[in-house]
Amino acid sequence: MTGEPDRLSVTGEPDRLSETGGPGRLCKTGGLDQPTHGRTFLMSRPPSVGVTTLVACLYRGPDLDVSTPVVGVDAVESLVTTIGVEDPEDSVVNCILEGLRVARDLDDAIIAVLAGSGGRVNSEREIARQVDQLVSEHDPDSAVVVVDSAEDERLVPIVESRVAVDAVDRVVVRQARDIESTYYLLKQFLADEELRKTVLVPLGLALLAFPALLAVSDSMAVSIGAIAAVVGTFLLYKGLSIDALLADLSGGIKEALYAGQVSLVTYVVAGGLALVGFFIGALDASSLDAETTGELLLFMQFLHNAIPWLTGAALIASAGRLLDEFIRDDELGSAYINLPFVAVAVGLALRGFSGYFLQISDVVDPLRVPSMALGNNEMEAFTITPGTHLAAFILASIVVSLVGVRVASHVSNADYGSALEGRRS
């Protein structure tokens, strides 16, 4: 202990409990006592000023049987010697040696070994605690992180959130660089659940379907085409996030069932009305001769007969949503109030345009108003021209939409006035 006042190693029998509650040897470094859990490392006095770069060797795995972080060149060299003698094949030896080389090449640098054991969460929290300790004690300006695997590289954001990281140095044994890099890439790929579902599932289905299709049909082109169609459908399903939309829809239906929302019933009724509208429109369109009328007129016939049912479906669905908002005693948004009027206005406009095309094509007769007697006055029968018929529907749709905007604005202003009055009171 003479001749080196800045270093003191006590290797005798344990004389007090360590910080974790168990017996440990004392290692005194610059007046600081640190438990080493049965091992003694010669530690340099940690510099308090002038340290600009922290060289952090990150390790996550089995317990190193040493209190971490291990700070200082002497302490780290003792640690790597002990680990290397016990297990020369351990990759952490190369990681620590690389950290020593980096610290040697840098000016005003301090090296530290940070280790975490246990599960993923516990090890990451342990690394975070050690980084906080190093930052509070040494206040580095930046850091260089040294890791030996892709798994340990995931710890880099923990250091990066506390000190600026200038570089990340991954150490791979030279003799097995290609093999180990490929291994870690495959391991990272297989660990990504979303990537597995997107890539491996369609490939597996294709490999299973190919021999089955060849057994059913002897045509190679048909088999490849069927597989390509299935894989393309699956990729579109994942790419457009249809699975997320279905999951949200399922969650919304479940919430509506448990909450007893009126909109759930109105949505079911609206779906039924929409199916009726599609059926009636398709039935009326099929009664026309496709060769003489053309595809456009067939679509107009379908739309002309289906639009009243579809408008009713939209009106009932929006009314149910509006009732839910009213029952919950929430502030009624202008969108919920205006939606029924918009549904009716769009339905009127589509009905008018489809009727106009059918009337000028002589598929549907123009609207004829019969004669009526109003008291002593008598009105003769007359026929409404297609242009007048279209103009009436367009005017009606505009009026309905303006009424909806006016009603929504009035309700919103009333809600805002009530809220403002409540704040004043």
SS3 of 256-289: the string is HHHHCCHHHHHHHHHHHHHHHHHHHHHHHHHCCC
By the 10 Å C-beta count (0-12 exposed, 13-18 middle, 19+ buried), 334 is classed as middle
Q: How confident is the model at residue 39, as a pLDDT?
A: 38
**pLDDT the model gives residue 183:** 66
What is the pLDDT at residue 369?
A: 73
Q: Among residues of the chain, what percentage have pLDDT more than 90?
A: 16
Q: Strand 109-116 vs strand 70-71: parallel, antiparallel, or unpaired? A: antiparallel
> What per-residue confidence (pLDDT) applies to 330?
56
Q: Which residue has the higher pLDDT, 107 or 314?
A: 314
Q: What is the pLDDT of residues 260-275, one digit of tens each?
A: 677 778 888 888 999 9
Region 151-161 average pLDDT: 88
187-201, 311-325, 330-344: range with highest mean pLDDT: 311-325
d(C-alpha 188, C-alpha 300), whole Å: 55
**What average pLDDT score do residues 391-405 get?**
89
Alpha helices in 87-219 (DSSP H): 91-105, 120-138, 150-153, 156-160, 177-191, 193-195, 201-216
116: pLDDT strictly greater than 60: yes
Average pLDDT, whole number, for the chain?
Answer: 75
Q: How far is CA 373 from the centre of its chain?
A: 68
> What pLDDT does 10 receive?
33
Query: What percentage of the chain's residues is helix, strand, coil (to nearest 5)?
Result: 60, 10, 25
What's the one-letter identity of residue 253? I
Chain segment 330-347, per-residue pLDDT in tens: 555 566 678 888 888 999
| pLDDT digit string, tens, across residues 24-66 | 333 333 333 333 333 333 333 344 445 689 999 998 877 777 8
- Mean pLDDT comparison of 14-23, 41-50, 379-388, highest-scoring range: 379-388
Distance in angstroms (rounded) separating the CA atoms of residues 221 and 285: 37
Residues 301, 289: Cα–Cα separation, whole Å: 12
Query: DSSP secondary structure string, 2-60?
Result: TT-TTEEE--SS--SB-TTSSB--EEEETTEEEE-TT-----PPPPSSS--EEEEEEEE
Mean pLDDT of 98-123: 88
Least confident of 66-75, 242-251, 315-324: 242-251
Residue 27 has φ and ψ, to the nearest 5°, of -125, 110
pLDDT of residue 298: 85
Report the distance separating Cα 223 and Cα 239, nearest Å: 24
Q: What is the mean pLDDT of residues 290-315?
A: 84
398 neighbors 345 (Cβ within 8 angstroms): yes
What does the pLDDT read at residue 128? 92
Rounded CA Rg of the chain: 39
pLDDT confidence of residue 421: 55
Does residue 76 register a pLDDT over 70?
Answer: yes
Residue 23 is predicted with a pLDDT of 35
Confidence of residue 170 (pLDDT cuts 50, 70, 90): confident
Mean pLDDT of the 348-354 span? 90
Better pLDDT: 277 or 242: 277
Residue 31 or 242, more confident: 242
Report which residue type is found at 144.
Answer: V
Residue 42: closest CA among 12, 17, 79, 5:
79
Which pLDDT band, with edges at 50, 70 and 90, does 133 fall under? very high
